[in-house]
Chains A and B, each alone.
Chain A
Amino acid sequence: MLKIIFAVIGRDLKLAMRRQADIVSALFFFVIVVSLFPLGIGPEPDLLRKLAPGVLWVAALLATMLSLPRLFADDHRDGTLEQLALAPHPLGLVVTGKVIAHWLVSGLPLALIAPVLGVQFDLTGDGLFVLTAAILLGTPALSGIGAIGAALTLGLRGGGVLLSLLVLPLYIPVLIFGAGAVDATVSGLGGEGHLSLLAAMTFASLGFAPWASAAALKIALE
């Protein structure tokens, strides 16, 4: 079981490494969106500190959305996806591997660069730490839930816009607890509860979402 997952992760990572520009452009999209907010709102440190968690999280959601359409589209176009669906292994396991690989190339870089952007928003040590932890814990859930949307919109007209319409409302809990963790830490309440809920959502979505996506892929491939 793990062998299949690791095989898919290895394959997807190898493919992603051949096209590093995609990873980098999603990352810079994140940086640019976050940098636009101070320009729009004003440079007061107090205000920025208050807005930082929300701004960073919304930008993280959007950056994740950006790379989602490619999750299945390339494999669908060259027929790989059909072969994977025909293979004797459960399609859910294959999707689990693809979701983890997607997180490694889209979610993980966001978590790594988030503290740098947090500093620009005048976040303090604890806040930065929790921000990184929250993005690290929450983005796998984004990849998991997003995979359902990506599978449902596979090969449709206007797939990207449609995908965001379907997936963004489902991202709201992750946004609330992700930004809430940082907020609670900064205000001295402690963000452990939020982080636990984020972890719970990540594990729940990694457990269930791949199977829902597999069902959606089978519908799309019919």
Chain B
Amino acid sequence: MKDRFNLYRFASPATFYPLAGTLIPYFAAIAVLFGIAGLYLGMLVAPTDFQQGEGYRIIFIHVPASWMSMFIYLVMAFWAAIGLAFNTRLSGMMAQALAPTGALMAFLSLWTGALWGKPMWGTWWVWDARLTSELILLFLYIGYMALTAAIDDPRRADKAGGLLLLVGVVNIPIIYFSVKWWNTLHQGSSVNLTKSSMATTMLYGMLLMAMCFWMYSIAVALMRVRTIMLERERNADWVKAELAGDVQ
């Protein structure tokens, strides 16, 4: 980095490993700060909803989790495309490192949605278009993780998983719209999720929580990618040097 800053330098695990190590505390700290601010705004400042009472406050977890679950799939598909196009090692590792977090977000979104639905709609689950497509998204995450786990050769796992992600990302709009049409055909939309107006404090609380979830996801993905790098490159010199340094 003497002459000029080159981003591609970090495409190698040997250089990305220390970079990720330095970045993790920052992302974690930002996540905590945003989390404190968001929870404070959401739990204490935001007014009680006149229709839903206090129960609505679960959206400060629910909505960010849903956003992240969709966003992480897109990011994984992005890394998959990069990995397949340029044959880079790190891209596949990033995709694999993100997958458990994405699945966790999808699960959290469904779980908090059920907790919210019971007092509000009187039922844990309805076959609403959004709920159904979120469930299918969770299935796609699980399929990806199962496929990469079943392949022993890490390079093949990366490529096969990447191809599956790209196929999935093409299919997501098709699945979403078919579920939507199916839902409107079978039953009238009994529940309307969209609120006409939302207090600005609620919106800001939600955005802060979304930032918190985002930063958390980055921090956790970086931690996971570091372990993946160590595991895969265990025979490389830099890993041996790294591990020897840890022992001393």
Contacts and interface: CB of A to CB of B under 8 A. Distances in A.
Contacts of A23: none
A177 interface: yes
B139 interface: yes
B150 A158 contact: yes
A113 to B, nearest CB: 26
B102 to A, nearest CB: 15
A24 interface: no
A184 interface: yes
A156 B181 CA distance: 36
A173 B160 contact: no
Contacts of A183: 185
A176 B181 contact: yes
A183 B186 CA distance: 9
B92 to A, nearest CB: 11
A172 interface: yes
A168 B119 CA distance: 33
A157 B181 CA distance: 37
B26 interface: no
A136 to B, nearest CB: 19
A interface residue count range (under 10 / 10 to 19 / 20 to 34 / 35 or more): 20 to 34
B164 interface: yes
B171 interface: yes
B85 to A, nearest CB: 12
Contacts of B168: 170
A180 B150 contact: no
A119 B175 CA distance: 30
A202 interface: no
A172 B136 contact: yes
B167 interface: yes
A157 B136 CA distance: 24
Given A212-B167, A216-B160, A216-B163, A166 B147 contact: yes
Interface string A147-165: 0100011001110001001
Interface in B90-148: 136, 139-140, 142-143, 146-147
Interface of B: 136, 139-140, 142-143, 146-147, 150-151, 155-156, 159-160, 163-164, 166-168, 171, 174-175, 178-179, 181-182, 185
